[in-house]
Every structure is written in structure tokens, then in C-alpha cells.
Amino acid sequence: MTTYKSRAEVPIEEKWNLDDLYLDISKWEEDLSAIETMANDLKNFDGAIKNGQDLFHFLKKQEELSYKFNHVFAYAMLSVDLDTRDTTSQSLLDRARTLSVKVSAATSFFMPFLLSLDEATFKQYIAEEEGLKYFEEDLLESFRYKKHVLSKEQEEILSQLGEALSAPSTTYGMINNADIQFGEVTNENGEKVELTRGMYSKLIEDEDREKRKEAYKAYYKPYLQMKNSIASTLAAAVKNNVTTSKIRSYPSALEKALFGDNVPKEVYENLIQATKDNIAPLHRYSELRKEKLQLDELRQYDMNVPLVSGVKQEISFDEAFETMLKALAPLGKDYVETLVEFKKARYFDVRETPGKRSGAYNLGVYGVHPFILLNHHDDLDSLFTLVHECGHGVHSKLSSQHQPQITARYSIFVAEVASTVNEVLLIHYLLDKEKNELVKKHLINHFIDKFRGTFFTQVMFAEFEMLTHEKAEQGQPLNVDVFNQIYETLFRQYYGDALVFDEEVKYGWSRIPHFYRPFYVYKYATGFASAIHIATKILDGDKATLESYLEFLKSGSSDYPLELLKKTGVDLTTPEPIKNTLTQFAELVEEFSNL
């Protein structure tokens, strides 16, 4: 694997071209001060919107500001991520963030104003001004919230309480990122060193069981020590959520969370029910792990070690890219050519360098193009990451090309569909062409574990959130014992009797930051199920599904997520897509067992 000591060593074709955003910093500075002026202009509309024309001018100006601001912010963020130690880039990002607060303050009057209009006045404004047709659907979408928006004074009080209401999340973030100190593990030289998260993710996959156990115990140590503090932050977060849902007249906290995407709560309940009705293959997989690892007792720290060893593939970036193009051929010539263009025009930042942000992401910038950050390690995981992020990238590119600015950004609910369709096509391509039995087994094992993490674990988390919120809504207490009892019961239901429980298992809830962003994780599972459904049909040569899927990639947020997915043949209001997904999982486990 190629390692680089500095960014200067990385070949130019493997680095982003940020000139596509700003050729020089003076242009960035110009836009920054222009946005400030525009924000002040927008503030002057407070109390001055008297007719359709005024409303149109406000919205037009707001959209122009948003367009410029996205460019300014993207440039600063992308620069920081290339070297998080660089103070010049940091100051650009700080200035962009400060400006963001100013813009929000300048336009905060608008939503209460809009929702104070009665429907007749609103319709009269639309009739008066032709240009408002462009904004009409967005404005009507805001009206959907009317019965959940309070008076101007009450809204002001709530917004002032915003910081206090988010305190549990902030406090947990501090505990989890800044204060937490993991226990000690033994390094290669036999010395005791403090465990880090990065070390943990490697050690928990180590073939040496003692190393896994030591890492597992060390990792959970601080969570057990701080169990009461963490339980109180989580209980407060759940109760805050329940309280604001009541204040805003939602039937439940769950329905408040689903309202934005216009998702009925049956979709959430279906997901959990269908998964639990078809959980046997996951239990079977736990038993297979126990057999394959030749253990008397399967423990939680045995759940991540790969079951097939001795398969280390070296895959360079160029090779990974070529493999991706072949794997995604079923999506058609245009899709593949779009990706070739991505590489030619330098949309990727490929290599890990000192100070660069870890992980991977895609950032679509409207009016420019997607920017894809990678830290390519020349291995199988990096190939999957490339294919995943390119799914997001093409989704961004096509939505920007085919949608106006107002509907170009797709919602998180559908975001994981495009990335997972690509991963499913890749795994099928690799399995079809692979002759080596060992590599084949390794690939199936890789996909089963991906399935488990992206689907089953997220559904289990979603059920945990639902049960804890229901308790709060019934006025029942939430504390360490309650969280432990719920989490342990769920873990047993999902993973089966093959697993012997260590004391740590029931504290799993204490290390999940997603629980502070309520009812969010289920979207990983619905996105995964939708993608499996679509990719399977495409691989079966279903032309109608392929066409409707390519249309879906151009749709941005031009409709509600469930409606967009229905056009591809996925109806999440029925249990079908979830059942199909679980059938595929059962087949994978069966195939792995036979191999």
C-alpha cells in the first residue's frame, strides 16, 4: 500500500480540484461579504411582506443567498478536511459558520409570518405573482406544519430554550468524545497502553481471542463506570423529545420524527415486526459463528472476527475503479460514463495524508459538482467504500442536473438507497467472477456482516428507541436498570441463544450517539431493504425497474421519499420489501453454511 508523508507527494490526478469552486481566495472573500449584505437585505423584509410580489422578492433573494452560501461553506469545509491542522482553513470555516448564524437570525421571522397567513391570503399572493409558482410546493409543504407551529411569542420562547433542550446531547458528546478514557490493552511489545477507538475496531476483529476479550473489556470499562451519568443524559434526551412533541401537538414522539418525511408510523412498525418474524437466519448465523470458530461459548467479542482468514487482497485505486465500472455495468452506459468523467475531472480526493479527515463522504455542491473524499487503503473495504460513495456522487450529480435548486437535494431517507444498490451490484459481480473458494467464502462473510450491521443492528436500535419513548410517554421512569433490561431483552431476541452474555452486553445502549438524534437509525434499514429490492430486479434484467431507478436518481426531493421509492417498485408501507430482504439474508447464510 502506498503511504504519503505529505499532500505534496500525492499525484495531482488523485486530488480534488477546488479551483472548480473558487480560483482564488479573493473571490471567496467577495462572496462572503456579498452574503452578509444579502442577509441584511433579507432582514428588512420583516414586517414588510404585504403582497405576492414582496413574497416572491424575499424568496428569490433567499435562494440566491443560499446558492452563494453553499459554495462558500463547501470551499471552507473541504479545505479543512484536507488538512484539519491548517489554521488558515480553520479560520475560513469559522467565518462561514459565524455567517450561517447571522443568516438564520435574519430570516427567522419568515416561518411564523408565513404560517400566520390564512389560506385565502396565501392563495391570493400566489395568484398575484407568476414567479411564486416555482416556490408554491415548498410553501405548501410549510403549511403542512401549521397545526404544529405555536404563536410567534411561544416559538420565540422555544427557540430560546433550544440550547437547554439540546444539553443532554451536548453533554453526552463531551463524555463520549472528550472525557472518556478506555481501559488498557497489551501491545505487540507486551506493554500496557490505553485503548483508542481506532485500535478497538482492529482488535475486535483480531484472530487472537484473548486480544479481542481484553479490548472488549477495556472498551466497555468507562461506559460501566459512567453508567448513571449516561443513563441520565439519555433519559433527559428522551423526555425532552416527548415533551416537545406534546407541546407541538403530535400524537407521539415517533410521529413527530416521521412527519418531515411524511412517513406513516406503520412503516416503522412494519420494519420491526417483519424483521422479528424472520429472525431465525440471524440466530442460525450466530450458531455458524460458534461452530466455525470452534468455541464452547460464543461471546459478543466473537461477533466481529472474520470467519475466513488468509484472504488479503491488494487492490490499487485504479484497479478498484476499473472493477467498479464493470460491476456497475448493469446500470447502463450513461451511468458508467458519468463515473469515468468523475475521475477525469478530479472529483475524488483519494489518499490518506497526515491531518486529513478520516473516513469517506460525498458532498454535492449545486451548480458545481460532487466532491468525494476517500482514504483509499488498497484493500477490499476501500473498494466497497469507493463504490458506496460513487452511488451518492451520481445521485447528487443527476439530481442537480435534472432538478431546480429548490428540489435538488435528496432526503436522508433515500440517501442510502443509491450507495447500497451499488454495493449489492459489486458483491454479485465479485462472486460471479471469483473462482477461488476461499475468496468466495470471504466475500459472502463480508456481505453477511455488512447486512447485520446496516440492517439488523439498526432495526434493534429502532425498537429500543420506540420502547424507551413509549415508557416516557406513559410517565414511567427511565434509568440504568430500565435501559439495561430493554437492551438485554432485545439483544437476546435478535441474536438468539447461541450467545453467552457478558455483563457488558446489556450496557450497549450507553455507547450509541445516534440515540440523541431520535428515530433516525431506521432509515439505514429501510434504505438497505429498498436497495436490495431494486438491485435484485436490475440483476434479473428487469428493464422497467432499471429505467424507474435511473429516474429516481434524477428526482432529488421532488416528491416525498415513500412516493419516490414507489415509482421504483418499492412500497415500504407493505411488509414485502423487508420480507424479500430477509429472504436474501437467509439465502446468504445458507450458501455460506454450505461452502
Give the active site residues.
389
Kindly state the DSSP code that residue 177 receives in the 8-state scheme. I
Residue 553 and residue 397: Cα distance in Å, rounded? 9
Cα–Cα distance, 275 to 458 (Å, whole number)? 11
Short-list 578, 573, 570, CA closest to 414: 570
Q: What is the CA radius of gyration of the chain?
A: 25
Cell of 30: 467577495
Burial of 386 (0-12, 13-18, 19+ CB in 10 A): buried
Q: Where are the alpha helices (DSSP H) in 293-411?
A: 317-327, 333-344, 380-402
Using alpha carbons only, give the angle 99, 170, 511 rounded to the nearest 5 degrees.
135
Secondary structure of residue 376 in the 3-state scheme: coil
- Note the Cα 590 to chain centre separation in Å: 30
Can you point out the beta strands (E) in 269-364? 348-349, 361-364
Q: What is the SS3 assignment for 554?
A: coil
CB 242 within 8 A of CB 253: yes
Q: Are strands 348-349 and 370-373 parallel, antiparallel or unpaired?
A: parallel
Q: Which residues contact 554 (CB under 8 A, 6 or more apart)?
A: 398, 399, 401, 402, 403
Rounded Cα–Cα distance for residues 138 and 126 (Å): 12
Q: Are 275 and 578 in contact (CB under 8 A)?
A: yes
CB 76 within 8 A of CB 88: no
Q: Give which of 210, 224, 231, 228 is closest to 182, Cα–Cα.
A: 224
Pick the closest to residue 222 from 181, 175, 172 (CA basis).
181
CA distances to 235, 465, 538, 581 from 516, in Å:
10, 10, 37, 28
d(CA 587, CA 159): 50
**DSSP class of 497:** T
Q: Distance between CA 481 and CA 319 in Å, rounded?
A: 51
